[in-house]
Each structure stands twice: as C-alpha cells, then as structure tokens.
Amino acid sequence: MKKKIFFIMVITAFVSSALTITGLCMLFNIDIQGAINLGRLLSAMRFIEAQYVQDVDKDKLISGAISGMVRSLGDPHSIYLEPKLYSQLKADTSGTFGGIGVYMNFKDNGVQILNVIPDGPGDKAGLKTGDSILAVNSQPVSEIEYGEVALKIRGEIGTPVELLIHREGEEDKTYTITREIIKVQTVSSKMLDDKLGYIRISNFSENTGKEFKAALEGLENENMKGLILDLRQNPGGVITSCVEVAREIVPKGPIVSVIQRDGTKEVYTSDLEKPKFPIVVLLDQNSASASELLSGALQDTKAAVIVGTKSYGKGSVQTVIPMFRDDGLKLTIAKYYTPNGRSIDGVGIIPDVEVKLENPLPMTRELDTNADNDAQLRKAEEILNEKIS
C-alpha cells in the first residue's frame, strides 16, 4: 500500500510538472528545446527545495536564477536589480541624487573613475581621474556586479561610504566620503582669443542641450570664427541631450541610429543646413557613449576634425524592465550606429589627428586652457587657425 501511495504521488508530481511546463510553453510560445530547458530549471529548483541541507527561501532562489541568467550574458551593462537597487536606480533618473560626484566605467576587469565633478564630495576627499575602486564598504568590487557598483556608492544624503582606492605609484588607501546631493553644470565655455571659442561638456545630463545652446550663442555674440569642443573624460549620459547638442552643429541628415536585434531602427536627425564655423573635437580614452555618438556624427559628416586619442568604445543601449516584486532588469537591447553605419561598441572613435599626452590633464571646473602641456588643445588651435585663414 505504501509503495502504491508513493507511486501515485510520483505520477501526480510528474503530471503536475508536465502540465505546468506545457501551460508556460503555450503562454510564452516556447519550442521543444525551450520546454526541455524550462524543465531543467524547474527540476533543479524542486531538487534544491526538497534535498538541500536546510530550508531555502524560494524568492531568493528565483532571484538568484534571474541574476545568473543575466551574468551569463557577459555584458557588464546588463544586471539584475534587486528591490533596493531598483529603487535607487529609479531615484537616480531624476537628475538629482545622493552620491559622491564621480563618473565611473569598467576597465581591465575593474572599476575606474573617469571624471570627478569639481567641488563635489569625491573631489574634496581627494579622488582623481584614473583612480581604480577596489572595494565599496569593505566589499571587493570583484564580488559585485559591475552595474551595481555605482548604485552601492550612492545612497541616503548625509551618510558615509568607504572606498578602497588604488592609484598608480601609491599605496592603496581607504577614503570615507559623505554623500551629498549632486547637481551638475555640464557645460563651460570661453573665448580663447578674438577668433577661437572653446566649449567643454563634462557629461550629458537632462539640461546639457539647453546649456550648450546658451554657451554657443554667447560665443557667437563674441564673433567666434571657429569652435573647439572638448569631450575629453566625458563618460556620456542622456542620448536625447546629445541629440539636442548635435542639432546645433551637425549638418542635415542622420545623427545616430539605434538598431535592435530584430532590425528595428530609430533614427535621430538634424535639420541644420550647414555648420556656421569649423569645429575641432577633443577626445581621449575616457570619452564614452554619448560623447562618442556626437564625435562620430561630426566625423562622418565632415563637420569636424577629431583630435586626441581613441575613445572608450561604449555604443550600446540599455533599458530598465520592471519585474513583479519591486525588482527589475537593466538589459542591453540595442546598439548605436553613426551616420555612416559604424558601430562604436568595443571599437571607439579613431581620431583624425592622433595626439597623445604624457600626463593626463586634471579636469577641473575651468580647464587651464593656457597649460603648455596640453598638446591636444594646442593642436586643435593650430588646425582651426589654418582653416580660418
């Protein structure tokens, strides 16, 4: 009788699982191989629940499975967002957030600081461009998903965060930094002489388009004849702001195309008849994402000469997908292409004129445009003067 009862239980469980899998397959239009894989996943979960040495949290199992799937993509820009991280990410999109005032990216399997916002908490604490973050609150970044590092550094205003920093030629050091509200002025400008104007964009935020237009009009009112656009150490940002800037200086036609896996394409265009003056763009290895898109559009349309070193090479698009328990997925869904159809992802922008610097320039609120060691800026001035004359 016991064997019979056990046999009935096994058959019931099998039939129940089969019906569950069949129903899910029909709901999500899954083929036979997909059904087999779904069966593997459910079998593993059931086995863990039944046989693991202690009770398990089913929600935690599912979250771990989702996180593992995303990690298997090998894409540092795609991550699973647990409720706390998802909540932080939603708060950050407002443009004003609690943080330490640095921009980061992933380099050599680590996290590197690309830019330090002048007068921000990180700047006041002594962080510098080029520093590598080894740990956040004593947790090594090697144990954290790359996309989560920034979210762990941000937090409640007035609370501290500890960063273990590696700097070339120095011993590793721990910095304790108090989070503040970060408000960024992204555009600065000046006349270098009576002919050449200079605009620096530190990153692309929601207000960058308006800031750039105001700066450009101001320089034009001072009879600017040529423009140097400095995008060095610019980590990118909001693509719509990048497009707003591009429409002021990129000639009529496509600026950038966003293409998904199925071929769906969204094209951003400019209606500008022609540029009003010659332009030189400054790039370096830390110019990424939106700064590369703008540079690529100017390069492809022959509207500017690119000077400096090859850029970072981030040309992918992420979207945030809400899940069902206040969690979410940040997933790469498309790639950017320049007007000539180039993908910059993993490639970067190759400058028209390569000029390397022996030592990286400190990026302060007002770059020292008179610095003798800024060979890139000096070359840009030389090129523009030749074009004007």
The encoded tokens of residue 59 equal 């929600």
Q: Of the candidates 363, 371, 368, 354, which has an alpha carbon nearest to the alpha carbon of residue 130?
A: 363
The encoded tokens of residue 18 equal 């089969």
The strand pairing partners of 97, in sequence order, are 182
- The catalytic residue among 123, 131, 132, 314 is 314
- The catalytic residue among 300, 316, 327, 330 is 300
Instruction: Report the alpha-carbon distance of residue 174 to residue 87 in Å, rounded.
Output: 27
Instruction: Report the alpha-carbon distance of residue 344 to residue 257 in Å, rounded.
Output: 12
Phi, psi at 372, each rounded to 5°: -65, -25
User: 62 vs 33, 70, 82, 184, CA distance in Å?
Assistant: 21, 13, 11, 39
314 is catalytic: yes
Decide if 341 contacts 325 (C-beta within 8 A).
no
The encoded tokens of residue 70 equal 């995303």
300 is catalytic: yes
345 is catalytic: no
Decide if 296 contacts 290 (C-beta within 8 A).
no
Q: Of the candidates 242, 267, 265, which has an alpha carbon nearest to the alpha carbon of residue 254?
A: 267
The encoded tokens of residue 79 equal 């991550």
Instruction: Report the alpha-carbon distance of residue 41 to residue 217 in Å, rounded.
Output: 59
10: helix, strand or coil: helix
Decide if 277 contacts 120 (C-beta within 8 A).
no
**CB neighbourhood size of 172 (10 A):** 11
The encoded tokens of residue 336 equal 């950017």
- The catalytic residue among 289, 291, 295, 311 is 289
**CB neighbourhood size of 43 (10 A):** 12
Give me the helix-helix angle, 58-71 and 32-51, nearest 10°: 140
270: helix, strand or coil: strand
Q: Of the candidates 242, 225, 239, 231, which has an alpha carbon nearest to the alpha carbon of residue 199?
A: 231
Residue type, 275: P
Residues belonging to the active site: 289, 300, 314
